[in-house]
Amino acid sequence: MKRLFLAALCIISLSCNNSSVTKPISETIQITPKPKNVKLESGVFSFDANTKIVAQTESEVLAAEILTEKFQKAATIKLEVIEQSPHSNVIQFKENTSLQAEAYHLIVSKDKVTIEYQDLRGAIYGVQTLLQLLPNAIENSSVAEQQNWSIPCVEIEDAPQFKWRGVMLDVSRHFFEKEYILKTIDRLSFLKMNTLHLHLVDDQGWRIEIKKYPKLTSVGGFRVDQEEKPWNARSKNSPEAEATYGGFYTQEDIKEMVAYAQKRGVTIVPEIEMPAHVSSAIAAYPELTCFNQKIGVPSGGVWPITDIFCPGKESTFEFLEDVLDEVLALFPSTYIHLGGDEATKTNWEKCPHCQQRIKTEGLTNVDELQSYFMSRMERYISKNNRKMIGWDEIIEGGIAPGATVMSWRGTKGGLEATVQGHDVIMTPTSHCYFDYYQGPQDVEPKAWGSYVPSSKVYQFNPIPKEMDSVQATHVLGGQANLWAEYIPTEAQSEYMFYPRLASMSEALWSTEGQKDWDDFSERLPNLFQRFEFMGINYAESVYTIQSSAKIDSVSKNIMVSLQNEIPSSDLRYVVNQDEISSASAEKYTKPIEIAETTKLKASRFVNNNPVGKVFEKEFVFHKAVGKSIRYKEKYSKSYQGVGDGTLVNVLRGSTHFHDGQWLAWLGSDMEAVIDLSESTTISKVTVGTLENQGSGIYFPTKVAVYLSEDGQSYALAKEIERPFKVNKESVLKTFECAFETKQARYVKVKVKNLAKAPNGGGSWLFVDEVVVE
Ligand code: ACM
Ligand code: ZN
């Protein structure tokens, strides 16, 4: 949306009393998500102790409350809320039924601010935009030094693109106190997001008090404290072991959260998982399973999930309906999420109750039995005048008639559901999973294995290209999901949410045509300052410098590109120097050519000074760099790095195995021949590899190096073996084959894949470089 920033060229004067600050408008109007239309006028409206707010309807009173609270705290100005409008120095609301849902129209003139709205959210969003026009210090939770509480005269027309703009908080894998939920609600309202999906039930903890089944929380709410161990290295707990980690929300807590959210224009949608992800419930009531399995609440990863509810027993449904009765009484939301994901139904295959159910219901398999399960629950939800949501697995075996699908395994499930006329909410892992890394794995705190940076979140469009316009009407919107396996603290939760949530907010608020990452990224420093006033532990990963490199086809030298996510960043670098300063550094403007082993340091500069973490990388040249390399068996399409040259391009891969520096083979060995183009002395060949057993990636069991002068007859130079070992970490390892100096033109490297993973599946072999010295 360029229109707003045409106006950015003009200068306004923010004057107040005897202090006069002149700032470009581009620095004073920075609203996120970006409004649809902004028309700047000259002059300002100034808040003072005589400013009144006129609020008559309930919506107006609630919206006014947000404004008065901030002014009271940060500015110690008590804005009086009255019912009759004075002539000037007033904030007034005006109901306008011609506006669409959630829309607002904000008009700031020198003596008056008018907020037109159609519903509560519109009134609140008008206030949130007004707050974003004020100095960032208005978000301070204690008295701010800022004295100049003025806003530019402006007219803003604004409305959202999608009606579901959500966030999912997983409070099961780690428990978050009610106060954090309340804070999150405020932040959602600030970003004009309207839905908080609370994932209240999962294997590792049941987090909502159900009065009829007290053991759900007294037993299911707590687990053995194994917090010091990595999530997937935590051992199985016996039902008798002392459980001390956990917590839950009482029904009073829930009522408070729901009421607070309602006042802020946020709907809380509860998720009660079924039939899987319920080990916590099973630990409390083993009779809910096929074979009365007695388990302890797991402290870490559970996979595959076989301890699940038994749909053969009528008592399972009685239990679930009882639970839902209490849930429905607490949450007024139209939608109730019933999970439905990742059930491994092997027990259902063997269970006499389940088999009987399959027979009496005329079903053909356990997928259809899951469909029966979810459809039956959907009928219960519908009967209570609500709508059921399920993860996209609910399509398998037949989707329940009234169900809405939350598509997470890409957008395919969502697409299919819209073909069948169902509503969908898009939350594909590719853009919406905030438990994934937002920066390079080697500098980020531990997260789930994949990569979803802010700029990628920003590109999210809940309507996939394949969708026609009729299907698109079924897309309610999108949502960010923060699974909490690796989120033990509120600080870490904030770190993973911000600023990605701002990216998500704008991705869902703006139309595709209005979205502009460059423009958004220019607003981030201001947003960061606001986050600081809000006390948010936001991430600065957007500034992290990363390199990519290509081999120049003529010179065979390495061309190293540097970038972070902010296109306007002032990046500077030094080559083979220890210090980086404004005196020593060169401005990065084009790829850096490297022809020999080189140490590169780079930093972002602000006001001529280096800021943030210094990027450091050594590019170690060797004799095979840029040489021709051929593979006996082609690498997988899923991991093709930068093509054939990936293994001789100097650049090393990281444990983030999607980083584009890896070639990988599934189940088969790697065999490559490098042509050094002339007879060369060689004494060592090193193969770089990765192991991440959780993702099916294993170290090779053998590496062998053969040399040849003619490319026909090869002699073994060295071979090393390494037997399989269990390893719960993700680690890089080099296999060094050193030998007495030899002469050769061709180097053949055979790297043996473990081939069969211990769990029976195919194993991946990952290689990032073959270093010839
Ligand atoms: C999911 O991520 N299992 C919905
Ligand atoms: Zn059963």
Confirm whether 431 is a catalytic residue. Answer: no
| Distance, CA of 450 to CA of 427 (rounded, Å) | 15
Residue 153 token pair? 């005269």
Nearest ligand, CA of residue 482? 1
Give the pLDDT band of residue 147 (cuts 50, 70, 90).
confident
Residue 85 token pair? 């409008």
Angle at 70 between CA 64 and CA 73, to 5 degrees: 135
Establish whether residue 342 lines the binding site of ligand 1, counting it when its CB lies within 6 angstroms of any ligand atom: yes
Which atom of ligand 1 is nearest to 391's Cα?
A: 4
Three-state SS for 630? strand
Establish whether residue 391 lines the binding site of ligand 1, counting it when its CB lies within 6 angstroms of any ligand atom: yes
Nearest ligand, CA of residue 303? 1
DSSP string across 413-480: HHHHHHHTT--EEE--HHHHBTTEESS-TTTSPS-EEEE--HHHHHT--SS-TT--HHHHTTEEEEEE
Angle at 676 between CA 670 and CA 677, to 5 degrees: 130
pLDDT for residue 26: 44
Q: What distance in angstroms lies between residue 173's CA and the mean position of ligand 2's atoms?
A: 26
Nearest ligand, CA of residue 354? 2
Tell me the mean pLDDT in the region 87-111: 97
Contact at 8 Å (CB) between 244 and 224? yes
Q: Which of 337, 330, 308, 387 is nearest to 209 (CA)?
A: 330
| Distance, CA of 273 to CA of 280 (rounded, Å) | 11
Residue 371 token pair? 């469909």
To test the pocket of ligand 1, the residue of 337, 483, 485 to mutate (highest count of ligand atoms within 8 Å of its CB) is: 483
b/e per residue 308-331 (b: at least 16 CB within 10 A): bbbbbbeebeebbeebbebbbebb
Cis peptide bond prior to 33, omega within 30° of 0: yes
Q: What distance in angstroms lies between residue 107's CA and the mean position of ligand 2's atoms?
A: 62
pLDDT in tens, 482-519: 999 999 999 999 999 999 999 999 999 999 999 999 99
Which atom of ligand 1 is nearest to 342's Cα?
A: 3
Q: Which stretch of DSSP H or E encloses residue 620?
A: none
| Distance, CA of 190 to CA of 505 (rounded, Å) | 10
b/e per residue 475-512 (b: at least 16 CB within 10 A): bbbbbbbbbbbbbbebebbbbbbbbbbbbbbbbbbbee
pLDDT for residue 22: 43
Give the pLDDT band of residue 27 (cuts 50, 70, 90).
low
Residue 693 token pair? 């057993």
- Does residue 577 surpass a pLDDT of 60? yes
Contact at 8 Å (CB) between 472 and 424? no
Give the pLDDT band of residue 274 (cuts 50, 70, 90).
very high
Tell me the mean pLDDT in the region 80-101: 94
To test the pocket of ligand 1, the residue of 168, 273, 302, 342 to mutate (highest count of ligand atoms within 8 Å of its CB) is: 342
Establish whether residue 429 lines the binding site of ligand 1, counting it when its CB lies within 6 angstroms of any ligand atom: no
Average predicted confidence (pLDDT) for the chain: 94
Give the pLDDT band of residue 28 (cuts 50, 70, 90).
low
pLDDT for residue 658: 83
Which atom of ligand 1 is nearest to 339's Cα?
A: 4
- Strands 205-206 and 201-202 come out as antiparallel
Q: Which of 236, 229, 226, 238 is nearest to 728 (CA)?
A: 229
- Does residue 443 surpass a pLDDT of 70? yes
To test the pocket of ligand 1, the residue of 408, 435, 479 to mutate (highest count of ligand atoms within 8 Å of its CB) is: 408
Which one-letter DSSP state was computed for residue 713?
A: S
pLDDT for residue 141: 85
pLDDT in tens, 387-409: 999 999 999 989 999 999 999 99
Residues 6+ apart with CB under 8 A from 465: none
Q: What distance in angstroms lies between residue 184's CA and the mean position of ligand 1's atoms?
A: 21
Q: What distance in angstroms lies between residue 341's CA and the mean position of ligand 1's atoms?
A: 6
Residues 6+ apart with CB under 8 A from 523: 30, 31, 32, 34
| Distance, CA of 66 to CA of 69 (rounded, Å) | 5
Residues 6+ apart with CB under 8 A from 314: none
pLDDT for residue 651: 85
- Does residue 23 surpass a pLDDT of 50? no
Hey, what amino acid is at 676? L
Tell me the mean pLDDT in the region 213-219: 98
Q: What distance in angstroms lies between residue 313's CA and the mean position of ligand 2's atoms?
A: 7
Q: What distance in angstroms lies between residue 383's CA and the mean position of ligand 2's atoms?
A: 25
Nearest ligand, CA of residue 277? 1
Confirm whether 342 is a catalytic residue. Answer: yes
Distance of CA 166 to the CA centre of its chain: 12
pLDDT for residue 626: 85
Which atom of ligand 1 is nearest to 408's Cα?
A: 4
Angle at 59 between CA 56 and CA 60, to 5 degrees: 45
Q: What distance in angstroms lies between residue 407's CA and the mean position of ligand 1's atoms?
A: 9
pLDDT in tens, 537-549: 999 999 999 998 8
- Does residue 413 surpass a pLDDT of 60? yes
Residue 169 token pair? 């908080």
Residues 6+ apart with CB under 8 A from 396: 367, 370, 371
Residue 375 token pair? 């459809």
Q: Which of 157, 153, 156, 155 is nearest to 12 (CA)?
A: 153
| Distance, CA of 670 to CA of 71 (rounded, Å) | 65
Which atom of ligand 1 is nearest to 433's Cα?
A: 2
Give the pLDDT band of residue 161 (cuts 50, 70, 90).
very high
Three-state SS for 376? helix
% of the chain beyond a pLDDT of 70: 96
pTM comes to 0.89
pLDDT for residue 9: 32
Whose CA is closest to atom 2 on ligand 1? 408
| Distance, CA of 329 to CA of 286 (rounded, Å) | 26
pLDDT for residue 180: 98
Residue 61 token pair? 């009173």
Which atom of ligand 1 is nearest to 429's Cα?
A: 2
DSSP string across 470-490: HHHTTEEEEEEEE--TT--SH
Residue 424 token pair? 């969908």
Establish whether residue 409 lines the binding site of ligand 1, counting it when its CB lies within 6 angstroms of any ligand atom: no
| Distance, CA of 321 to CA of 323 (rounded, Å) | 5
Task: List, in sequence order, the alpha helices (H) in 134-278.
Answer: 178-190, 215-218, 251-263
- Strands 670-692 and 730-752 come out as antiparallel
- Does residue 36 surpass a pLDDT of 90? yes
Give the pLDDT band of residue 654 (cuts 50, 70, 90).
confident
Catalytic residue among 60, 158, 202, 506: 202
Instruction: Give the range among 85-99, 138-152, 362-376, 399-413 with minimum mean pLDDT.
Output: 138-152
Three-state SS for 300? coil
Q: What distance in angstroms lies between residue 538's CA and the mean position of ligand 1's atoms?
A: 25
Helix 366-383 with 314-330: angle, nearest 10 deg: 40
To test the pocket of ligand 1, the residue of 272, 278, 338, 341 to mutate (highest count of ligand atoms within 8 Å of its CB) is: 341
Catalytic residue among 342, 367, 519, 540: 342
pLDDT for residue 334: 98
Measured from the Cβ of residue 635, the count of other Cβ atoms closer than 10 Å reads: 24
Give the pLDDT band of residue 756 (cuts 50, 70, 90).
confident
| Distance, CA of 318 to CA of 314 (rounded, Å) | 7
Nearest ligand, CA of residue 429? 1
pLDDT for residue 15: 33
Nearest ligand, CA of residue 406? 1
Whose CA is closest to atom 3 on ligand 1? 341
* First-to-final CA distance of the chain: 54
Establish whether residue 408 lines the binding site of ligand 1, counting it when its CB lies within 6 angstroms of any ligand atom: yes
Establish whether residue 662 lines the binding site of ligand 1, counting it when its CB lies within 6 angstroms of any ligand atom: no
CB-proximal residues (5 Å) to ion ligand 2? 290, 310, 312, 351, 353-354
Catalytic residue among 277, 337, 431, 474: 277
pLDDT for residue 222: 98
Q: What distance in angstroms lies between residue 374's CA and the mean position of ligand 2's atoms?
A: 15
Q: What distance in angstroms lies between residue 315's CA and the mean position of ligand 2's atoms?
A: 11
Confirm whether 578 is a catalytic residue. Answer: no
Establish whether residue 341 lines the binding site of ligand 1, counting it when its CB lies within 6 angstroms of any ligand atom: yes
Contact at 8 Å (CB) between 618 and 661? no
- Does residue 3 surpass a pLDDT of 60? no
pLDDT in tens, 329-380: 999 999 999 999 999 999 999 999 999 999 999 999 999 999 999 999 999 9
Helix 251-263 with 178-190: angle, nearest 10 deg: 10
